[in-house]
Amino acid sequence: MSKVVFSGIQPSGNLHIGNYIGALNQWVKMQDSTESIFCIVDLHAITVPQDPVQLKEKVLEVAALYLACGIDPKKSHIFVQSENPNHTSLAWILNTITPFGQLERMTQFKDKSEKHEANAGLFDYPVLMAADILLYQTDEVPVGQDQKQHLELTRDLAEKFNSKFGQTFKLPVPVISKEAARIMSLQNPDNKMSKSDTNSLATIYLLDSEDQIREKIKKAVTDSGSQISRDASSEGLSNLLVIYSALKDWDLNKTYDEVEGKSYGEFKNLLADLVVLHLSKIQKKYHEIRSDEKALRQVLGEGRDFAIEKSSQTLQSVKEKVGLV
From the candidates 29, 75, 112, 319, which is the catalytic residue? 112
Closest among 283, 278, 276, 284 to 214, alpha carbons compared: 276
**Is 294 among the catalytic positions?**
no
Helix (H), strand (E) at residue 36: strand 35-40
Binding part of the chain for ligand TRP, among 1-9, 88-96, 163-171, 240-248 by CB under 6 A, reads: 1-9
CB 255 within 8 A of CB 245: yes
Q: CB 215 → ligand TRP: shortest distance, Å? A: 28
d(CA 28, CA 290): 19
Write the DSSP symbol of residue 231.
T
d(CA 205, CA 200): 10
d(CA 269, CA 220): 12
Q: Which amino acid is at 287?
A: H
Residue nearest to ligand TRP (CB): 8
Binding part of the chain for ligand TRP, among 2-10, 99-107, 197-205, 215-223 by CB under 6 A, reads: 2-10
Footprint of ligand TRP on 93-132 (CB under 6 A): 129, 132
From the candidates 195, 262, 319, 321, which is the catalytic residue? 195
d(CA 124, CA 102): 11
Footprint of ligand TRP on 129-188 (CB under 6 A): 129, 132-133, 141, 143, 147
Footprint of ligand TRP on 199-238 (CB under 6 A): none
Write the DSSP symbol of residue 262.
-
For β-strands 35-40 and 4-9, DSSP reports them as parallel
**Is 192 among the catalytic positions?**
yes
User: Does 311 interact with ligand TRP (rule: CB under 6 A)?
Assistant: no
From the candidates 192, 216, 268, 310, which is the catalytic residue? 192
Instruction: State the sign of the Cα–Cα–Cα–Cα dihedral 313, 76, 80, 92.
Output: positive
Instruction: Classify residue 115 by burial, with Cβ atoms within 10 Å: 0-12, 13-18, 19+.
Output: exposed
Q: CB 143 → ligand TRP: shortest distance, Å? A: 5
Q: CB 10 → ligand TRP: shortest distance, Å? A: 5
Q: CB 298 → ligand TRP: shortest distance, Å? A: 24
Question: C-alpha 111: how far from its chain's center?
Answer: 18
Query: For ligand TRP, which is the closer residue by CB, 8 or 236?
Result: 8
User: Does 41 interact with ligand TRP (rule: CB under 6 A)?
Assistant: yes
In the sheet where 173-176 sits, what is the strand order?
76-80, 35-40, 4-9, 140-143, 173-176
**Is 112 among the catalytic positions?**
yes
Query: For ligand TRP, which is the closer residue by CB, 143 or 228?
Result: 143
Binding part of the chain for ligand TRP, among 4-12, 206-214, 231-239, 243-251 by CB under 6 A, reads: 4-12
Query: For ligand TRP, which is the closer residue by CB, 8 or 189?
Result: 8
User: Would you name the residues annotated as active-site residues?
Assistant: 112, 192, 195
Give the binding site for ligand TRP (CB under 6 A): 6-8, 10, 41, 44, 129, 132-133, 141, 143, 147
